[in-house]
Amino acid sequence: MSRASLPLPLPARGWLAAHGARPGLLAALVLGPALAALLARWPLPHTPPADVTVDPTLNPAHLGLLALALAVGLLPVLLVDRLAWATDVAARPVRRMRCGWVLLPLAAQGLGAVLGAPLLPAHLSAGAAWLSCLPLLWGLCLLGDVLLGPLAGTLLPAAVVAALGFGPLPWHVDVLFNPDLQGQRLLVGCALAVLGAALYALRGTRRGRGVVAAAD
């Protein structure tokens, strides 16, 4: 079926085309987090202090987390508005459209992460530690995309995971790897994800901004 024959109104088809929505890319959003779960069987170099005992069922320190961050890095490809000038002068409320649009790829990735949970190693079978990292990665991606541009949004989640994998933060404040801070990890991650999504709705991506400020 050609894009022109899709049973969608013209504005919706234009929006999808301007944001590079392709079936393969949308499938990758779902399959990426699921496949990343397979890599959770190999640890990252990060280890807790010698005097700390970590419950393996809560420990998110695995290679799959880095793969999950790389999967999250696909988001900016769908968020860049390649026709920003047209979006800015559109009659429809652009901020509302962006708000609805950003939720779709996040939902697709969330679905992929949930579907991938059964692929996790036995000690992470509940998937709580795995899923609690996702909002934090989303927040880093969206903030990097809006404030610095799509390349930053793509690289920032993986860069943070890789950097923290070598333990530069004190263990008691390392919300990414310290399993005792799982609740704080989820809280901080949700706050960053909501802030990033709100900024995207208000401003769009850095490279995707057009000639005038978007307004409802």
Q: Distance between CA atoms of 89 and 211, rounded to whole angstroms?
A: 9
Radius of gyration of the chain (CA): 18
For residue 69, pLDDT over 50 is answered with yes
Residue for token pair 């939902």: 107
Residue 9 has pLDDT above 70, yes or no: no
pLDDT for residue 179: 82
Q: In 19-133, which ranges are continuous DSSP H helix?
A: 23-36, 63-72, 75-79, 84-88, 94-116, 128-132
Can you give the pTM of this predicted structure? Answer: 0.79
Tokens encoding 60 = 């998110």
What's the rounded Cα separation, in Å, for the pair 123 and 178?
16
Residue spans per domain, the chain: 14-203
CB neighbour list of residue 92: distance below 8 Å, 6 or more residues apart: 11
Confidence label for 208 from pLDDT (cuts 50, 70 and 90): low
pLDDT surpassing 50 at residue 26: yes
pLDDT of 110-137, one tens digit each?
999 998 888 888 777 778 888 999 999 9
How many percent of the chain have pLDDT more than 70? 72
75 or 17, which is more confident: 75
Q: What pLDDT does residue 144 have?
A: 95
